[in-house]
Amino acid sequence: MNWKRKGNTQITFGTKRSAGKQIATGVGLGLMICLLIYGFFAYGPWLDQWTVDSYLETLEQDYLYQRAFSRTEYEGLKAEVDEPFLVTKKEFRDFVYEVRDLVDDPFLYFFYDDVFTRDYTRITDRKTGFVGQDSEDSALIPEDTGVIRFGTFKEGLAADTEEQLKNFIAEGKRALVLDLRNNGGGDLDVAERLADLFLRTNDEVYSVRYPRESVTKFASKKIYSFEQITVFLNENSASASELLALSLKMNLGNRVELIGPSTYGKGVGQMVYTNPVNHTRFYVVNFRWTVKNQDVDDLQNLLEPSTKELITEEDYWNARRPLAQEG
């Protein structure tokens, strides 16, 4: 009897251990399947239908150029990505580019990353963060002039700029140079806060037209005043940096001079939708901006004429208008 109980105990224990191994094996297989599914969509070339539907809804709700969806070609293009269970990322990107061609829009983008293409193209190369005063060309900078070189317009930049302006005022700087060369822009709200540092109360900072409404922003902050503000621009100055330059010129008039060749010409803004699971990013053009009914095309006509090509740092400084002597 004792031997049988021991035997039964041994058999029961063996059964429990076998069941535990089966559970562990099942959990392991389940995790492996989950990882395979994740890898399939994250690093493979496909998009699931849920993501496609989500991006299509975003496009049709938020895209500035709503007339694209009334074109007869649109329904056919949409069916090619909306009906199949799986769509490749390349196929969806091709769809996006065909939609933007319907309305001649160069700024609607779809970027993706997969194991085959590793496609993480950027619109422009941008400086990052607040750069501030540079000492490399200090010999070109007059004693009465402060210089701020801007990086990407992102959170914290306006506060850093204000601190720099306070220092310039304390040092007795009469003129200011804002360097927006190679600046691809960034956050629209940051551009507004930067303009707010220089404009008078109730000056129009900008107006934006969304798909279903328009909004105008006005200055409300105490200004930092300089006798002359010079803005350096080039062909890589884009979007929010172009808006800032135009806003200063339209509101402060002859106190502001814009120096540079034609700028990038991006008079629209985008909303960026990122899906970290399948490594995709969708840039949807959502608004067009103006300043006092002037747009990015009008900005080109406000650039100071130059008799010499602007290439070197010295070229830009030589094109600057001399500051009137005190006294």
| 130 within a domain of the structure (yes/no) | no
The percent of residues above 90 in pLDDT, for the chain, comes to 65
Q: What share of the chain is helix, strand, coil (3-state, %, to 5)?
A: 45, 20, 35
How many angstroms separate the CA atoms of 325 and 318, rounded?
Answer: 17
Mean pLDDT confidence for 30-34: 65
**pLDDT tens string 145-198:** 999 999 889 999 999 999 999 999 999 999 999 999 999 999 999 999 999 999
Which residue has better confidence, 95 or 3? 95
Q: Are 153 and 85 in the same domain?
A: no
Predicted confidence (pLDDT) per residue in 79-122, tens digit: 999 988 889 999 999 999 999 999 999 999 999 875 444 443 43
8 Å CB contact between 183 and 127: yes
Q: Looking at residue 313, which CATH number applies to its domain? A: 3.90.226.10
25 pLDDT higher than 90: no
On whether residue 247 sits in a domain, the answer given is yes
| Same domain? 186 vs 256 | yes
* pLDDT the model gives residue 35: 53
- pLDDT bracket for residue 6 (50, 70, 90): very low
Q: What are phi and psi of 292, to 5 degrees?
A: 50, 45
**Judgement on whether residues 95 and 210 belong to the same structural domain of the protein:** no
Task: State how far the Cα of 225 lies from the Cα of 227, in Å rounded to an integer.
Answer: 7
Average pLDDT over residues 295-314: 91
Whole-number Å distance between alpha carbons of 91 and 321: 52
Residue 121 domain flag: no
pLDDT of residue 37: 59
Nearest to 291 by CA among 261, 251, 255: 251
**Range of 83's domain?**
46-107
Averaged pLDDT for residues 33-46:
63
Model confidence band, residue 230 (pLDDT cutoffs 50, 70, 90): very high
* Of the residues 107, 122, 153, the one at which a domain ends: 107
Burial class (CB in 10 A: 0-12, 13-18, 19+), 86: middle
Measured CA to CA, the distance from residue 237 to residue 243 in angstroms comes to 10
Of all residues in the chain, the percent with pLDDT exceeding 70 is 79
- The tens digit of pLDDT for each residue in 42-54 reads 567 888 888 999 9
| Section 260-277 average pLDDT | 93
Helix (H) or strand (E) run with residue 258 in it = strand 256-259
Question: What confidence category does residue 278 fall into, taking pLDDT thresholds of 50, 70 and 90?
Answer: confident
148 lies in the same domain as 180: yes
Q: Are residues 224 and 297 in the same domain?
A: yes
- Residues 147, 103, single domain; the answer is no
Q: Which residue has the higher pLDDT, 41 or 255?
A: 255
What pLDDT is stored for residue 324 in this prediction? 76
Domain count within the chain: 3
| Position 306 pLDDT exceeds 80 | no
The tokens of 214 are what? 């328009």
Cβ-based neighbours of 82, under 8 Å, separated by 6 or more? 52, 53, 56
The average confidence (pLDDT) of the chain is 85
Given a cut of 50, whether residue 274 has pLDDT beyond it is yes
Of residues 295, 301, 305, the one with CA closest to residue 266: 295
* Spatial separation of the C-alpha atoms in residues 18 and 305, rounded to whole Å: 85
Query: How does residue 126 score in pLDDT terms, banded at 50, 70 and 90?
Result: very low
For the cut 70, the answer to whether the pLDDT of residue 12 exceeds it is no
Q: Are residues 244 and 261 in the same domain?
A: yes
- Average pLDDT for 1-16: 48
* Domain membership flag for residue 117: no
- Are the CB atoms for 147 and 175 separated by under 8 Å? no
